[in-house]
Amino acid sequence: MGYVPWTCTINLYHRTNMTGGFHYLKKRGHTWFFQRAVPKDLREKLGKEQIVETLETRDLTVAMSRRTERAAYWEAVFKSLRGSLKPTSDVDAREVYKDTLECSLSADIEARSVESVETSADEPLTEFDIQQDLLLDQAATQFGQDEQGHPLAMSPQQQAKWDGLQDYRRIKRNMPASNASKYGLTISEATDRYLSRAAQKGDAQTVRQHRTTLQRLSEFVSDKPLKTLTRSDVGRFMGILETLDPAWGKSPRDSSRTFGEIRRRYSGTGRQLSDITLNRHLGAIRALWRWATTVGEVEGDCPTEGLERKISKKTAQERTYSAFDLGEIHQLFSGHLPQNHDVVEICMVGLFSGMRLGEICALRWEDIRDDEGVAFFDVDRAKSIAGVRRVPVHSYLTWLLDRRKDAGPIWPRLAEREQDKASKAVTKAFGHFKKSKGFSSRKKVFHSFRKTFITSLAGSVAQSA
């Protein structure tokens, strides 16, 4: 529960106490009645303008207690008519804030006075005043009140409704909504939504890497709302990552360790993450912010701006994978080959298609299609929209067409694993294979087949031109 910003409520309570708190109450003869005007935006739906109910008592104290119960009941009815069907206690505070603000703006609750409901000083009450009074009464009943009659605390949902009402009033006075940032998506909530979307594109490795970064960022800043994330927050987070040993994240146990445990375990080893790796972590935060911008959860400059590490051309070249030349291709595939022939087949597909390893491992027989007699791989699970494409089946890959089936994975043993684990298994197997053929350079990896394909294709285009 949170404490109420009393600087906003003192005047309201002074007005209520001075008038005796008689709103919603009307005496007819010796009996007290509950009387409440229906908000103008709901009169057509409810079919009446006034609510008048007997409270069946002559005692003012009993009448005030029953008045509070009936007011709460009708507030629930109004919420239902406006489309907010869940009880407030079951709704996330963020949803309460948004619902309160949107309904208040839609109904214009401050501008429309509530007819026939007046204080003893003949001061008309607006719908805004009544909702504040009711909210404060509920909080005081639930949590108690101090000597001045102020409730001692509010539940998160009550505080959210209060904040929504205050921001409604600020917006009506052309002032910025000061509480909006408190009720945005938290970093962990935004991460789950963003990665859920990213996972649909089939890029399991990127999803895994981004989740690692964003979970640690969320933990570091106490899972604050994403829209309140600052450049300073990201800068301090990156400063800590900079001190970690490159072995961080390699152990399966690291996923269950807290960020504090990771810092104690991997800091001060004398080795640090490279600038390229740090930029990759920044890229995860940037991607989350870009997604949140497109769905309207944040706006403005990304907090990663200006924090990217500069990479020298020499360093970039050293980390860049190199293509296999024709002699090296012969060296690889002459003589002894791996017992697991799936690895050889996948290498051949990579060499003669330029496809990425993850795309190849995910191939199914139904992904091989024909168009006017030309067979092609239909790649629809790619890292980006641009990666969704048709790749012609090279004449050196016709052996695939010879054993073509109607459906099912092309390499069933790989299909039993998750996509990123299948790619890792092939990467590991290829690593052993290339070493057995005398390749020790870290620049010659499976991705080098893609480089070879692109280089050969560019050379053919240049010759034909």
pLDDT of the residue at 304: 95
Residues 6+ apart with CB under 8 A from 87: 76
CA dihedral 4, 5, 10, 15 (to 10 degrees): -70
- Cα separation, 30 vs 58, in Å, equals 6
pLDDT at position 124 over 90: no
For the whole prediction, is pTM greater than 0.85?
no
Query: Would the CA dihedral through 19, 20, 23, 25 be positive or negative?
Result: negative
**Poorest-pLDDT segment among 153-157, 165-169, 316-320:** 316-320
CATH of domain 326-464: 1.10.443
* DSSP letters spanning 233-250: HHHHHHHHHTTB-TTTT-
Q: Looking at residue 364, what DSSP letter applies?
A: B
Closest CA to 138 of 158, 114, 164: 158
Domain layout of the chain by residue ranges: 6-183, 187-319, 326-464
Choice between 317 and 447, residue whose per-residue pLDDT is larger = 447
Q: Is 423 exposed, middle or buried (0-12, 13-18, 19+ CB in 10 A)?
A: buried
Let me know: does 307 contact 238? Beta carbons within 8 Å. yes
- Cα separation, 221 vs 228, in Å, equals 10
- Cα separation, 64 vs 428, in Å, equals 75
- Cα separation, 388 vs 368, in Å, equals 14
Instruction: Note the Cα 24 to chain centre separation in Å.
Output: 43
The residue behind tokens 């909530």 is: 189
Where residue 111 falls among pLDDT bands split at 50, 70, 90? low
As beta bridge partners, residue 124 has 118
Reported as a single tens digit per residue, the pLDDT across 352-407 is 999 998 889 889 999 999 998 899 999 886 666 666 889 999 999 999 999 988 88
**Poorest-pLDDT segment among 21-25, 26-30, 139-143:** 21-25
How many angstroms separate the most distant Cα atoms in the chain?
A: 109
pLDDT at position 14 over 50: no
Let me know: does 275 contact 310? Beta carbons within 8 Å. yes
Reported as a single tens digit per residue, the pLDDT across 210-240 is 999 999 999 999 898 998 899 999 999 999 9
Closest CA to 115 of 29, 27, 45, 51: 51
Q: Which two tokens stand for residue 427?
A: 């990467």
